[in-house]
Structure 1
Amino acid sequence: MDFQSPTTWADALAAKAEHPDAVPVSGGTDVMVEINFGHRTPPRLLDLTRVPELATWERDGDRVRLGAGVTYARVITELARELPGLAVAARTVGSPQIRNRGTVGGNLGAASPAGDSHPPLLATGAEIELASVRGERRVAAAEFYTGPKRSVLAADELIAAVHIPVATGPQQFCKVGTRNAMVISVTAFALALQPGARTVGTGIGSAAPTPRPATDAAAFLAAELDWDSGAPVGQDVLHEFGRLVRDAAAPIDDVRGSAAYRLHALAVLARRALTWAWDEYRTTDTRSAA
């Protein structure tokens, strides 16, 4: 197995263009596990940890450009205010050691339906910045995933960054797993309230061939919430929202859980996330943005 370790972004793109079969490695928390267990034998590894451009983030107006090499630990400590949903999800990823190495860019590159960063990226309307020697392009998170562990990434492209809107209202993420830490989610859900636009964002994980939004559920909820008064959400709205989120999923039976359990759990998570987010909205000054 060959190994390359470029030190500039230009060199990384050139290496990927020359060797499209090279597998990028940032934190290595997915790729190295697959290699160690013999599930994957790539002919070449492209180590991106020495490319400084990937390990930076910056705020540009109402968006954050998050470099693909920024770790989960840094999202938690540096971006909890700007990107609260992603920060909550990052706290559920593996152990402290994994969070110190794993990156959102790596999670996107793996494109696993169970990736914890995917639901909040969907809920917030994030865009993924892809680059090659041919140029750059941006792809909406909802269009990035094409199948289990597959994405729109071309063979010569690398993930440069993720562009994520700064939160204007409460955001929540919750998941079900066989335990609270170091576990792949059985199912997960993210919710983002956008009071200024009076819209709602949603994201479902580990309950379909790809991460996906619950579009009908989001539209229903945005119309039902009393953005002006912050009146409590009725039980009928809670249950209908949970039902619509559940209906947006298409899970399978596997070793982590049955499809039936995933559907039930997803409806519960949706109601729970809505309750938490709306309680925060009602008790903070975010209502002034509505």
Structure 2
Amino acid sequence: MDFLRPTTLDEALAAKAERPGAVPIAGGTDVMVELNFDHRRPEALLDLTGVGELAEWSRSSGSDGEIRLGAGVPYTRVITELGGRLPGLAMASRTVGSPQIRNRGTVGGNLGSASPAGDTHPVLLVTGARVEVASVRGTRLIPATEFYTGVKRNALAPDELVTAVHLPEATGPQQFAKVGTRNAMVIAVCSFALALDPDRAAARAAIGSAAPTPRRAVAAERFLAEELPWGTPGPLRDSLKRRFGELVAEATEPIDDVRGTAAYRRHALAVLARRTLTWAWNDQQERSPSCA
């Protein structure tokens, strides 16, 4: 197995073009596990840790406040440097592995693996993120909703690398929750993300580890957009939260495996949906001037 160590993005893209079978490695939190268990034996590893361009984030100068998050920025920096701007992503990042894993693992690596159980995927879906990918042929942006194509499959061409993720700054409450034997250091049995946009009276909801790919719960989103009492103070009706949970569960396509049954995943996601909606709505109530 060859080990390639580019020091610039141009070198990395050239190496990937020349060796499309080379597997990118940054934190190595997924790739090294597969290698250690002999689940994968690629022709080459493409080490991206020396590519400084991938390890930075920036904020656009426009009014939209979009964040460009380099594919090599570790979860720890997402938590400490972007928690206020990208609260949902920071919440998900806190549940990834141990502190050592969070110091190494990256959102770019999560995207490259494209596991249905990846913790950041539901958040990328509800925030309307776009995945920046590049090759020697140029750069393109792929909406997160189009990036996941199957179990551990994505929309990358053989010669492309994930270089960044573009996410808008939060304009309303965001929540993330997952079910596992504990909050971190486990693969999610199922996970859920929710984002409310009170200015547009809109909501986005997404599930993880309960279908072949991470996916949005579109019917549940439409229900919230129509039924949430936007701008009106007070708690939500239990019937509204219960129906939202039911619609989220209906959006799933889970399987039975060693971590949980399909029936348990549906039930758990309905519970997570109700809980995160309550938390997000309470957060919105605290933000709203009319409720002050």
What TM-score range do you get, normalising by the shorter chain?
A: over 0.9
1:141 aligns with 2:144: yes
What pairs up with 1:130-169 in 2 under 5 angstroms? 130-169=133-172
**Does the C-alpha gap of structure 1 residues 194 and 111 become closer, same or farther in structure 2, counting only changes over 3 Å?**
same
* SS of the residue 1:45 aligns to: strand
2:56 aligned partner, one-letter code: T
- Counting aligned pairs with the same residue, the percent is 66
1:166 CA displacement: 0.5
- Deviations along 1:159-217, whole A, 9 cap, x unmatched? 01000010001100000002232100000000001111111111110000000000110
Quote the residue 2:202 is aligned against.
Answer: 199
The answer to whether the 8 A contact 1:172-1:277 is kept is yes
The answer to whether the 8 A contact 2:94-2:184 is kept is no
Quote the residue 1:178 is aligned against.
Answer: 181
Worse-superposed segment, 98-107 or 134-143: 134-143
2:6 aligned partner, one-letter code: P
Question: CA–CA distance in 2 between the matches of 1:287 and 1:17?
Answer: 56
Quote the residue 1:3 is aligned against.
Answer: 3
1:286 CA displacement: 7.5
Question: CA–CA distance in 2 between the matches of 1:50 and 1:43?
Answer: 20
The answer to whether the 8 A contact 2:74-2:104 is kept is yes
* SS of the residue 2:215 aligns to: coil
The answer to whether the 8 A contact 1:169-1:286 is kept is no
1:97 aligned partner, one-letter code: Q
What pairs up with 1:5-24 in 2 under 5 angstroms? 5-24=5-24
Question: CA–CA distance in 1 between the matches of 2:80 and 2:244?
Answer: 32
* SS of the residue 1:162 aligns to: strand
What pairs up with 1:238-253 in 2 under 5 angstroms? 238-253=241-256
1:223 CA displacement: 1.2
Aligned residues: 288
What pairs up with 1:3-82 in 2 under 5 angstroms? 3-60=3-60, 61=62, 62-82=65-85
**Does the C-alpha gap of structure 1 residues 211 and 50 become closer, same or farther in structure 2, counting only changes over 3 Å?**
same
Question: CA–CA distance in 2 between the matches of 1:179 and 1:120?
Answer: 20
The equivalent position to 1:262 in structure 2, one of 252, 265, 270, is: 265
1:47 aligned partner, one-letter code: D
Worse-superposed segment, 66-75 or 176-185: 176-185
1:272 aligns with 2:247: no
Question: CA–CA distance in 2 between the matches of 1:66 and 1:164?
Answer: 8
Consecutive unaligned residues in structure 2, runs of 5 or more: none
1:215 aligns with 2:187: no
1:108 aligns with 2:111: yes
* SS of the residue 1:275 aligns to: helix
**Does the C-alpha gap of structure 1 residues 286 and 127 become closer, same or farther in structure 2, counting only changes over 3 Å?**
farther
Quote the residue 1:235 is aligned against.
Answer: 238
1:224 aligned partner, one-letter code: E
Question: CA–CA distance in 1 between the matches of 2:102 and 2:42?
Answer: 24
**Does the C-alpha gap of structure 1 residues 72 and 286 become closer, same or farther in structure 2, counting only changes over 3 Å?**
farther
- Deviations along 1:67-107, whole A, 9 cap, x unmatched? 00000000000000110000000000000000000000000
Question: CA–CA distance in 1 between the matches of 2:274 and 2:214?
Answer: 19
1:231 CA displacement: 3.1
Question: CA–CA distance in 2 between the matches of 1:187 and 1:196?
Answer: 30
1:6 aligned partner, one-letter code: P
Question: CA–CA distance in 1 between the matches of 2:86 and 2:287?
Answer: 17
The equivalent position to 2:287 in structure 1, one of 277, 284, 287, is: 284
Consecutive unaligned residues in structure 1, runs of 5 or more: none
Question: CA–CA distance in 2 between the matches of 1:88 and 1:198?
Answer: 23
Question: CA–CA distance in 2 between the matches of 1:250 and 1:221?
Answer: 21
1:218 CA displacement: 0.6
1:233 CA displacement: 1.2
Runs of 4+ in 1 over 3 A off after TM superposition: 285-288
Quote the residue 2:94 is aligned against.
Answer: 91
Normalising by structure 2, we get a TM-score of: 0.97
Question: CA–CA distance in 2 between the matches of 1:89 and 1:208?
Answer: 19
